[in-house]
Amino acid sequence: MSANSMPADSVPANRDYDLVVIGAGSGGLAAAKQAAKQGKRVAIAEKEAIGGTCVNRGCIPTKLMIYAADFAKQQSLASDYGWVNPEGLFDWPTFKQAMDDHIQSLRQTQSDHLGDIDILRGQAEFVDAHTLRIGEQTVTTEYVLIAVGARPKMPDIPGIKHALTSRDIFRLETLPDSFLIAGGGYIGVEFSQVLRSFGCRVTLVDSSSQVLDRFDKDIQERVKQILVDDGIKVIDGARLEEIAKGTDTLVATLDDGQTIKAKQILCALGRTGNIDTLNLEAVAVATEKDKIVVDDQGRTNTPNIFAVGDCTDKMLLTPVARAEALAAVETMFSDHDAQVSYRWVPSAVFMHPEVAMVGLTERAAREQYNQIEVHCDTFSPLKYALASESLESLIKLVVDPSTQNILGVHLVAPRAADLVQALVPALKKGLTVTELEQTIGIHPSVGEEIFAL
């Protein structure tokens, strides 16, 4: 603690704010608005654009790119349905302008909805547990919520300065004709398929034996096959070791000795918490690796300092950051603790077809239960009946045979994200496989396949 700093438990009587939030992303905005709604004096410190990763360089721009790529898929299907000459040319600058305009309008809407919340522009760092320096100003507060998010992890290898991150992709003025993507998590997989649909040659390199590390093994295998069928070269079990700059291409060397040429290399190798510039040492907030350690309410080991979202070691998803933020604010300003349950958080990979899951994978269920049942089937959606290429979809349920309760749902199919999230309330209430089978669906729809398993 510095000589003129305040002890963690002494709340300044004439403090500027009840709550200062660091970071105006998904978690920070949700927390600030919730506290302001309760009449608290709130400020948000933000060093970049309002909206954080999701709006500016994450969920929204990637999904807009995916919608753009969908037209390529629809065009190839259209010719099977009798449309003559449906092909069109994709123009990246035209799309990019439309995407940038939409993101700008989202940012504006988010700023317009901040009401009485003060926006303090600049990088925030702790002076003590109740005092923050934000750019040129210093403010005092009862509580601090750290919601600073994360940034792409870059490996320490020769030539890494030539590689792009997901953030750089949205800034490209022209679209290169070939990419090497290092990392087979959902960001690497989504970008691989999108860039391939735009006509780029794509090589996806992943150090594990399968893409989508945290997903069920049958889903991983299906996704890999979809990527290969799309013309993406998938190299698994290999690591990016070096990048060299050639005359007009980059040359990547992998740890198995292979070399791959590509115009651009995208690193999608995980995310590291933005915690290094917060001066956390001044407040003795505990960290592990590059993340802030919090309890179930988002409390750090310093009682008035909370942390939520991607800078903590939980689930790196926008709805999770928001839910954690609401729980943290409730805990701060009420007489009870609130917490988030992670058991039934659904997640999706927005590829073609979509991939979605909720609950336990088969492997996780086998670790936790003596016995499990697995129901797995493939089907082809009716929409692809006339198509020259097939779209094999897959549904898998993991079930506890002693109760018939469904422990996990895994789906690769058109609109899988919407279908899986619609099941969540019933799953939380202990939906059994028999109840699912007895449900009458809508025909013909993809969703009815879940009931017919």
Active site residues: 443
Give first-to-last CA distance, the chain, whole Å: 61
What is the SS3 assignment for 443? coil
Q: Which residues contact 324 (CB under 8 A, 6 or more apart)?
A: 27, 298, 308, 309, 312, 314, 340
> Which residues bind to ligand FAD, rule: CB under 6 A?
22-28, 45-48, 52-54, 58-59, 62, 123-124, 147-149, 166, 187, 274, 277-278, 309-310, 316-319, 321
Q: Of 129 and 278, which has the nearer Cβ to ligand FAD? A: 278
User: Cα separation of 46 and 121, whole Å?
Assistant: 5
Min dist CB 70 to ligand FAD, Å, is: 15
Min dist CB 190 to ligand FAD, Å, is: 7
Q: Which two tokens stand for residue 381?
A: 């959606």
Min dist CB 287 to ligand FAD, Å, is: 14
Cα 38-35-316 angle, rounded to 5 deg: 145
Please spell the DSSP secondary structure of 48-65, one letter per residue.
S-TTHHHHHHSHHHHHHH
User: Cα separation of 116 and 33, whole Å?
Assistant: 9
User: Cα separation of 55 and 108, whole Å?
Assistant: 11
Q: Which two tokens stand for residue 6?
A: 């305040």
Min dist CB 134 to ligand FAD, Å, is: 7
Q: Of 317 and 365, which has the nearer Cβ to ligand FAD? A: 317
Min dist CB 291 to ligand FAD, Å, is: 11
Q: Of 206 and 400, which has the nearer Cβ to ligand FAD? A: 206
Q: Of 61 and 77, which has the nearer Cβ to ligand FAD? A: 61
Q: Of 126 and 431, which has the nearer Cβ to ligand FAD? A: 126
Which region, left, alpha or beta, applies to residue 183 given φ > 0 means left and ψ of -120 to 50 means alpha? left
Angle, helix 318-333 to helix 26-37, in steps of 10 degrees:
30
Rg (CA), the chain: 24
Report the half-sphere exposure of 188 (CA within 13 A, side-chain side).
Answer: 31
Name residue 204's beta-bridge partners.
181, 234
130 to each of 15, 76, 141, 335, how far by Cα in Å? Answer: 9, 59, 5, 21
CB 268 within 8 A of CB 183: yes
Q: Of 45 and 211, which has the nearer Cβ to ligand FAD? A: 45
Min dist CB 277 to ligand FAD, Å, is: 5
122 to each of 21, 103, 358, how far by Cα in Å? Answer: 13, 21, 38
Q: Of 205 and 278, which has the nearer Cβ to ligand FAD? A: 278
Min dist CB 48 to ligand FAD, Å, is: 4
